Structure 1
Amino acid sequence: MTRARYSQVSLDDTPYYHCICRCVRRAFLCGQDDYSGQDYEHRRQWVVERLALLVDVFAVDLCAYAVMSNHYHVVLRVDRERAAGWSDKAVAERWMRLFSGPLLVQRWLRGETGEADTLKALESVAQWRERLFDLGWFMKCLNEHIARRANGEDDCKGRFWESRYKCQALLDEAALLSCMAYVDLNPVRAGMASTPEAADYTSVQQRSRALAADSAGDDAFAPRLAYLLDAESVDTDDSGALRGFWLMDYLQLVDATGRAVREGKRGAISGEAADVLTRLGIDQHAWLRHMRLRKQRQPLALGALVRVKAFAAATGRAWIAGQYSASVLGAVVV
């Protein structure tokens, strides 16, 4: 039985989620369609630009993304505490960057309402506050915008996305890192790029350019990325997420994992990445087994086994796919 997406989210267990959405019939509606000869490559930039706006409006951070020719991946962090700390006016102004909002709220913002109308306006604002840390609303604002824009360009109606987005909970840092690396390596695995940093419309390329202080390309329209530290942010970052995990370490990890997966071997991983894996308490061979392409059902949650079981209980399940992956990957030592 199909479950509502909200039943797959438990912010008490984790703020991190991996979301995937595919074009209808998995057609190349965001890339070069060899069958029709149409080139829709520019639509990949639409997704990146929309993400840039949404992470600026919502209390949702973007950890990784990859926009492919017929689907996209995003790894998100939902921050409800940040949304709770916004003033009512800030919430209304954020929401109205995406939607016009009722006239009553517009009048309230201008200070033109009495007590009764103010209370009614604040009811709308309270609802918007909840939506601004709601994963479903974030994805809705992303997918509907792209679908309407693409249908307008094609002068047609109907579905653009194949189905509802798929959602996967990431329950610990090992799960988060493995999923981010998986997302960043998607173009390499698909043969679209020879190296991670050469893959367009990905977070790994954006981070690589930032590390090299290279402002070339479309980085001006790229979304803000979260939770990998550089030398300047190590003293100021207070998120508690991936604390002390350096950007260079992550890029080396992605590169080393990508080489192993691309060659279809579980062999040795580079010394730099091995140090990272050792620090996180992850077995190297288990990591590579976990990163292999899998044709079976996508696990609903990734993380240590005890956390996967707790997430299952929190979302009303006796058992969920993902427990085998959890037992393979093992617990994290930090």
Structure 2
Amino acid sequence: MPRARSTLISLEDTPYYHCCSRVVRHAYLCGYDKYTGKNYDHRRAWVEAQILKLTEVFAIDVAAFAVMSNHLHVVLYVDLETVNSWSDREIVEQWHKLFNGTDLTKKFVNGDVIEECMVATLKHLIATYRSRLSDISWFMRCLNEPIARQANFEDDCTGHFWEGRFKSQALLDEAAVLACMAYVELNPIRAKMAKTPEKSDYTSLQLRVNAALKGKQPSKLLPFIGNEKKYQPKGINFSLQDYLTLVDETGRIIRDDKRGVISANAEKILNRLNIHSDNWIKITSEFGKLFHGPVGTLQELTHYCEHLEKRRRHFAHCCQYLKAS
């Protein structure tokens, strides 16, 4: 039985969450459908564009994404510090980038005088918008609904395009975040849709590789900020070059389906994460099969369950894959 989203999200434990949406009946509604002979690959571009658009609206950053033929993955970072720093006017302006708002919020943004009797209503609306702009469910809703409408209009039909609920899982520590990111970004490699990261269309990895070739990082993705944790801006606390090397070498091993060697530079990350290379390959190859709930060490999982008042530590057996041996 599906659980309420509130029982899966604990920002006290982690701001990182892996979300996945699938189209109905696992049909190839975003790729080439060999049964109908139609190619819907252009819809993957719709999804990628919408993901990047939402990063400019929500106080939620995208760490990784992959748009496949019949499903999509995103790794999200909920930025409570940013949403709480936005002024009331900024909150409304951000919301109006996606929605029309109300006559009252339009008056507020335009600088018109707000009647005293309407101040309480306005404050309630602003509080609601502030909450939604850092809400994963609203992010996924604003991602999936426009795509469904576009696809149904193109097909001249009605009905569901995506499955009813998206799946989400908490990523409780650095190892879980990096392993999930690599798993998501290597999806086209595993599916044999691409041979190399730079050929992996509609993925965050392709954007990172193309930007790195110019000595930059994609402006709409959560950046890598190096290995120093203190006094750093928001971002992923690893070297971008080490991560790209690790993912590239992991992809080669997965693609060739044979044992490979992780280089010394890439091994730096695994040593810091305290994960053996064999476990790393297994996790990044089978993440979706191994983990069906929150991902992290046993200690992190225990804290997560306590904060959500869960009596049992479901999926505790999966913690073994995040050990050094």
What is the match of residue 187 of structure 1?
188
Partner of residue 15, structure 1: 15
**Does structure 1 retain, via aligned residues, the 8 Å contact 2:222–2:236?**
no
Distance between the aligned counterparts of 2:135 and 2:287, measured in 1?
Answer: 29
Q: Distance in 2 between matches of 1:225 and 1:235?
A: 21
1:291-324 Cα deviation digits (max 9, x unpaired): 2326747421111111012212223323354322
Kindly indicate whether the alpha-carbon contact (under 8 Å) linking 1:62 and 1:223 is maintained by their aligned counterparts in 2. Answer: no
Once residues 117 and 147 of structure 2 are traced to their aligned partners in structure 1, the CA distance between those partners, rounded to angstroms, is 38
Change (3 A) 1:281 1:295: closer
Seen in structure 2, the aligned counterparts of structure 1 residues 214 and 249 have a Cα distance that, compared at 3 Å, is: closer
Look up the match of 1:64. Answer: 64
Cα 1:234–1:10, aligned 2, differ >3 Å: closer, same or farther?
closer
Contact 2:33/2:39 (8 A) holds in 1: yes
Alpha-carbon offset, residue 288 of structure 1: 2.1
Aligned-partner SS, 1:302? coil
Cα distance in structure 1, aligned partners of 2:287 and 2:243: 23
**What's 2:233 paired with?**
238
1:1-334 superposed matches below 5 A: 1-110=1-110, 111-213=112-214, 224-229=220-225, 237-239=232-234, 241-243=235-237, 245-293=238-286, 296=289, 298-330=291-323
Give yes or no for contact 1:185–1:258 (8 Å, CA) kept in 2: yes
Q: Is the 8 A contact 1:171 1:302 kept in 2?
A: yes
Aligned length: 323
Q: Deviations over 1:244-270 (max 9, x none)?
A: x11111111101112222333455323
Question: Post-superposition shift, 1:223?
Answer: 7.1
Out of 288-297 and 193-202, give the one that drifted further. Answer: 288-297
8 Å Cα contact 1:6/1:136 also seen in 2: no
CA distance in 1, matches of 2:184, 2:289: 17
Letter in 1 for 2:74: V
Deviation at 1:107, TM superposition (A): 1.6
Cα distance, 1:75 vs structure 2: 0.3
Helix, strand or coil at the partner of 1:63 = strand
Classify 1:32/1:66 alpha carbon distance in 2 versus 1 (closer, same or farther; 3 Å). Answer: same
Rounded Cα–Cα distance in structure 2 between residues aligned with 1:89 and 1:130: 15
- SS of the residue 1:303 aligns to: coil
Amino acid at match of 1:311: Y
State the one-letter code of the partner of 1:114: E
Distance (whole Å) between structure 2 residues aligned to residue 209 and residue 95 of structure 1: 31
The one-letter code matched in structure 1 to 2:196 is T
Q: Secondary structure at the match of 2:56?
A: helix
TM norm structure 2: 0.92
Q: Which amino acid aligns with 2:266?
A: A
SS at match of 1:301: coil
Gaps of 5+ in 2: none
Q: 1:147 to 1:277 in 2, by over 3 A?
A: same
Question: Judging changes above 3 Å, is the alpha-carbon distance between structure 1 residues 77 and 294 closer, same or farther for their aligned structure 2 residues?
Answer: closer
User: Any idea what the Cα deviations from partners look like across 1:120-141, whole Å, max 9, x if unmatched?
Assistant: 2121011100010011111111
Tell me how far apart the structure 2 counterparts of residues 8 and 295 of structure 1 sit (CA, whole Å): 17
Separation of aligned partners in 2, 1:52 and 1:291: 24
- Kindly, what percent of the aligned residue pairs are identical? 45
Q: TM-score, normalised by structure 1?
A: 0.90
In structure 1, runs of 5+ residues without a counterpart are: none
Does structure 2 retain, via aligned residues, the 8 Å contact 1:65–1:183? yes
Larger mean CA deviation between 18-27 and 281-290 belongs to 281-290
| Residue identity opposite 1:184 in structure 2 | E
Q: Deviations over 1:164-195 (max 9, x none)?
A: 10101100111100000000100000010001
